[in-house]
Amino acid sequence: MARDSCLNRVVAGVAVGGAVGGAVGAVYGTYEAVRSKIPGVLKIRYIGQTTVGSAAIFGLFLGCGSLIHCGKSY
């Protein structure tokens, strides 16, 4: 039971981190694409790359934090 609970916490941490990272990456990618005057379809590609990269990093860190926290006993 505790193992499933820990796994559920880590998965939830990755999901929340991915959502927050994706939102931040989309906003930042859009800002940078407009500021740098990236043309047409390349702008969409740049925003997508920034969104996915940011979501992956945030998800990884929040998942690791959840895993570390799961090992603590209070």
Instruction: Report d(CA 45, CA 17) in Å as an integer.
Output: 22
- Note if the pTM is more than 0.75: yes
Average pLDDT, the chain: 91
Between 49 and 6, residue with greater pLDDT: 49
Reported as a single tens digit per residue, the pLDDT across 38-70 is 998 999 999 999 999 999 999 999 999 999 988
Instruction: Report d(CA 68, CA 74) in Å as an integer.
Output: 13
- Domain coordinates of the chain in residue numbers? 14-51
